[in-house]
Amino acid sequence: MNRAIWEHAGATGPVVDLVDTELAQQGRVRTGPPELVRRWSISTVLLVPTDQGPVWFKAVPPVFAHEGALARWVASVQPRHAAPVLGSGPGWLLTEGLPEGDRDGTGLQEGPLAAAVRVQRASIGRSAELIALGCPERSTARITADLELLVDRTDLLGGPDAQRLAVALPELTRLLEEADGDGTPTVLVHGDIQEENALWTGRSWALIDWTDAALTHPFAELARPLMQATASQRARAEAEFAQAWADVLSPRTVSRALRLAPVLGAAHQVGNYFRIVEAVGATDGLDALLKEWVRRLLAAAARTAPRPARGLM
């Protein structure tokens, strides 16, 4: 079923039948043909008109087959930060359309990272439950293992980047091990918080597109939203995270996690894109994104590593 839905996700045949069946169970009727909004190597997205407002259908390849179950779980634990799920199955998801509020309104007092932190906090101690749903587990040890594999993949990185990664690997391993201490819980991280995946509804932020989600270190979440952040945006995000975890982690642990966040986040993204490229191929610029995150990881490690002491002149 998963492969069939993915292969027929261009708005005809089995997909339309599936959508109609799911809508009927909700007491709704499709009022027109689905509109193809996007189709590329990792998803097909359709906008479906119904008698009670539009709904969204998404189909994904087998590597993301768990997204529907994961989105349903998020909606169950943090409903104000998720789109209501109307139906889901291996490789597909049907969600309610959400209203879009004015982002310049006075009610907009926090960013989407605050919503992500609430989802993270709700996932503490529930890793086994999420793994059972198919959520990938990306511990720092697993990320290190992926980096070791990637060093030999000159077909993906090219020789110079692979060589630089090999040289940096011992220091990267040390930094990741340093981050993985003092009882920091493994949590559900969205992994791709950006403007397209965060919708302000007028009263809260709703997070969509959980294809990149994984169980990992909470501060890995900072990587994507801080890629092009201003100094004030970075300070705000770091403050939100520090405050959110102050009652769980010691000030020393929070400070260290913030210092190591660029390495944690970039390493997580490298492992994620490595997994995606291996599953769907180096298409649609995915290989370029993998290389970009490798370079970001190397730069973050260079900034984070302690500088050697200067000798007497």
Q: Which two tokens stand for residue 172?
A: 């990267």
- Using alpha carbons only, what angle is made at residue 289 by residues 188 and 62, rounded to the nearest 5 degrees? 55
Per-residue pLDDT of the chain (313 residues; tens, 9 = 90+): 444 566 655 556 788 999 999 999 999 999 999 999 998 989 999 999 999 999 999 999 999 999 999 999 999 999 999 999 999 999 999 999 988 766 555 455 678 888 999 999 999 999 999 999 999 999 999 999 999 999 999 899 988 999 999 999 999 999 999 988 777 999 999 999 988 899 998 889 999 999 999 999 999 999 888 887 888 888 888 888 888 899 989 999 999 999 999 999 999 999 999 999 999 998 899 999 999 999 999 999 998 866 544 443 3
| Distance separating alpha carbons of residues 60 and 117, to the nearest angstrom | 26
Please choose, from the candidates 79, 73, 91, the residue with its C-alpha nearest in 3D space to the C-alpha of residue 7. Answer: 91
* Residue spans per domain, the chain: 1-97, 100-306
CATH class of the structural domain 100-306: alpha beta
- Residue 51, judged by CB atoms within 10 A of its CB (0-12, 13-18, 19+), counts as exposed
CATH class of the structural domain 1-97: alpha beta
DSSP string computed for 200-267: E-SSSEEE---TT-EEE-GGGGGTTTTTT--HHHHHHHHHHHHHHHTTTS-HHHHHHHHHHHHHHHHH
Give every CB contact of residue 106 below 8 A, 6+ residues apart in sequence. none
Q: Which two tokens stand for residue 148?
A: 């070791």
| Distance separating alpha carbons of residues 92 and 87, to the nearest angstrom | 8
Angle between helices 159-179 and 251-280 in degrees, nearest 10:
140
Please choose, from the candidates 92, 73, 43, 51, the residue with its C-alpha nearest in 3D space to the C-alpha of residue 196. Answer: 43
Q: Which two tokens stand for residue 274?
A: 């490595």
Detail the DSSP E strand segments found in 10-152. 35-40, 43-48, 55-59, 85-89, 92-96
Check: CB of residue 59 under 8 Å from CB of residue 67: no
Say how many C-beta atoms besides its own lie within 10 A of residue 227's C-beta.
Answer: 14
| Distance separating alpha carbons of residues 216 and 196, to the nearest angstrom | 23
Q: Report pLDDT for 99.
A: 83
| Distance separating alpha carbons of residues 94 and 23, to the nearest angstrom | 9
Angle between helices 159-179 and 286-304 in degrees, nearest 10:
60
Please choose, from the candidates 282, 294, 263, 264, the residue with its C-alpha nearest in 3D space to the C-alpha of residue 147. Answer: 294
Q: pTM of this prediction?
A: 0.90
Round the CA-based radius of gyration of the chain to a whole number and report it: 21
Q: Which two tokens stand for residue 181?
A: 């201490």
| Distance separating alpha carbons of residues 121 and 238, to the nearest angstrom | 16
